[in-house]
Amino acid sequence: MKTFLLILVVAAVTLALRLIPVYLFSKQGARMPQWLSDLSLLMPGAIVALLVVYSLKDTALALPASWLPALCGVLTAAALQHFKKNTLVSVFAATAVYMMLQRLLMP
C-alpha cells in the first residue's frame, strides 16, 4: 500500500509540474519570458552533456577495453543524432554498440 501511495504522489507531482506552465502561458496574450525561452533551448544539450560526463566518469583510461566501448558508444550516439535527429535511434544504437563491444573486449 505504501508503494502505491508513493507512486501516486510522484505521478501527481509530475503531472502538476507539466500542467503549471501550460496553465500559466495559455492565457490570452501571456507570453513566455525571454530568459525562459532561451533556457528551454539550452537545456537539452546541457542535460545530454551532463549525462555523458556522468556515464564516463568511472572509465579507466589505462585499459583500452574499458574506454573503447564507451568512446564508440558516444561517437555512435553523436553521429546518429547529428544525421538522423532521432533520439530513440541514437540511444538504442549507441547502447547496442557499447554492449557488443563490452562483451567482445572484456575477458
> 29's torsion region: left (phi>0), alpha (psi -120 to 50) or beta?
left
DSSP-assigned letters across all residues of 29-49: T----HHHHHHHHHHHHHHHH
Non-local (6+) Cβ contacts of 104 within 8 A are: none
Q: Output the pLDDT for position 59.
A: 81
Q: Output the pLDDT for position 23.
A: 83
Q: Would you state the cell numbers that stand for residue 28, as one nine-digit string?
A: 490570452
Q: Output the pLDDT for position 11.
A: 96
Q: Output the pLDDT for position 28.
A: 67
Domain ranges of the chain: 1-31, 44-107
- Please state the pTM of the whole predicted model: 0.59
Q: Show pLDDT as tens, one digit a residue, over the chain (107 residues).
A: 899 999 999 999 999 998 888 888 777 677 878 888 888 888 877 887 888 888 888 888 888 888 889 899 999 999 998 999 888 898 899 999 999 998 998 76
Q: What angle do CA 59, 56, 14 make, to 5 degrees?
A: 140
Q: Output the pLDDT for position 52.
A: 81
